[in-house]
């Protein structure tokens, strides 16, 4: 029950998204002020973009058992918000005529080498997941709390790119599962068909003249027979056998 309710809490993407949100909030509180952000618009945009990432991962994950389509769409929104946030940190660097760390630099390699621990929440999910998120954030605090906005922006930019790659993989897995199992609509259709087939068997519905499966009572929607009932094979569209009523 806990996994169904809080399933997304076990996602590394959600954990890292929370690390990025917390670090972004700290960055904005430390480095944005009346001089460089007189209206507070930059603060709002960056903190809201950072908030959008874990929020949409959570909302998408909570729809995992009801709508894979919605889960994919919301995960994609999280990815887009992350790209927007990453661009804000890139702009911060460029504004001071600084460039991002090279992917071959010692700093970049050090940040990317940090691995997240696997969560173990047992039966106290919200309490233990919060401890877990803070523990993962401390792994990056050497850069995130350096007091140097250039170092902090670079670290957050690396983390944004890292999470985008993780979300790309998560979306690919969701799409593969959707192709194989279908989504909420397909599941409902299959269950409804199974129920109607069972009811037809109980009602001694005729067998399909082509494949022998039980037939279902349907109503013609178009053509000369529109509005008239007829028997249709329960195996449709694989079998198109029909019988007149």
Q: What is the pLDDT of residues 40-58, one digit of tens each?
A: 999 999 999 999 999 999 9
**pLDDT at residue 2 greater than cutoff 50:** no
Would the pLDDT of 181 be above 70? no
Continuous segment of H or E residues that includes residue 77: helix 68-95
pLDDT over 70 at 179, yes or no = no
| Averaged pLDDT for residues 109-129 | 91
3-state secondary structure of 66: coil
Look at residue 24 and tell me whether its pLDDT is greater than 80: yes
Main-chain dihedrals φ then ψ at residue 32, nearest 5 degrees: -95, 135
Whole-number pLDDT of residue 210? 85
Please give the DSSP secondary-structure letter assigned to residue 9: G
% of the chain beyond a pLDDT of 90:
58
Q: Write the burial class of residue 37 (CB in 10 Å: 0-12 exposed, 13-18 middle, 19+ buried).
A: middle
For residues 227-231, average pLDDT: 79
Distance separating alpha carbons of residues 164 and 78, to the nearest angstrom: 9
Of the pLDDT bands very low, low, confident and very high (cuts 50, 70, 90), residue 76 is very high
What does the pLDDT average to over 71-88?
Answer: 95
Higher pLDDT: 204 or 183? It is: 204
The whole-model pTM stands at 0.74
Query: Is it the case that residue 184 has pLDDT exceeding 70?
Result: no
Q: Tell me, what's the pLDDT at 63?
A: 78
Average pLDDT, the chain: 87
User: In this predicted model, what pLDDT tens digit does every residue of 142-165 receive, in sequence order?
Assistant: 999 999 999 999 999 999 999 999
How far are the Cα atoms of 185, 186, 191 from residue 66, in angstroms, in the given order? 9, 11, 14
């Amino acid at each position: 029950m806990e996994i169904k309710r809080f399933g997304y809490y076990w996602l590394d993407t959600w954990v890292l998204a929370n690390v990025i949100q917390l670090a972004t909030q700290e960055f904005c509180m430390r480095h944005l002020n009346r001089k460089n952000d007189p209206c507070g618009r930059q603060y709002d945009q960056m903190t809201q973009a950072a908030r959008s990432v874990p929020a949409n991962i959570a909302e998408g994950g909570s729809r995992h058992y009801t709508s894979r389509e919605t889960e994919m769409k919301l995960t994609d929104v999280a990815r887009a918000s992350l790209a927007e946030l990453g661009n804000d940190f890139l702009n911060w660097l460029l504004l001071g005529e600084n460039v991002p760390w090279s992917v071959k630099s010692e700093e970049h390699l050090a940040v990317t080498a940090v691995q997240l621990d696997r969560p173990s929440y047992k039966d106290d999910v919200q309490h233990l997941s919060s401890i877990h998120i803070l523990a993962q954030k401390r792994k990056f605090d050497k850069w995130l709390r350096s007091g140097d906005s250039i170092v902090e922006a670079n670290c957050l930019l690396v983390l944004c790119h890292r999470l985008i790659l993780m979300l790309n993989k998560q979306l690919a897995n969701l799409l593969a599962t959707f192709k194989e199992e279908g989504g909420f609509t397909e599941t409902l259709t299959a269950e409804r068909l199974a129920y109607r087939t069972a009811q037809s068997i109980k009602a001694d519905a005729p067998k399909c003249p082509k494949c022998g499966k039980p037939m279902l009572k349907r109503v013609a929607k178009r053509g000369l027979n529109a509005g008239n009932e007829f028997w249709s094979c329960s195996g449709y569209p694989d079998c198109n056998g029909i019988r007149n009523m």
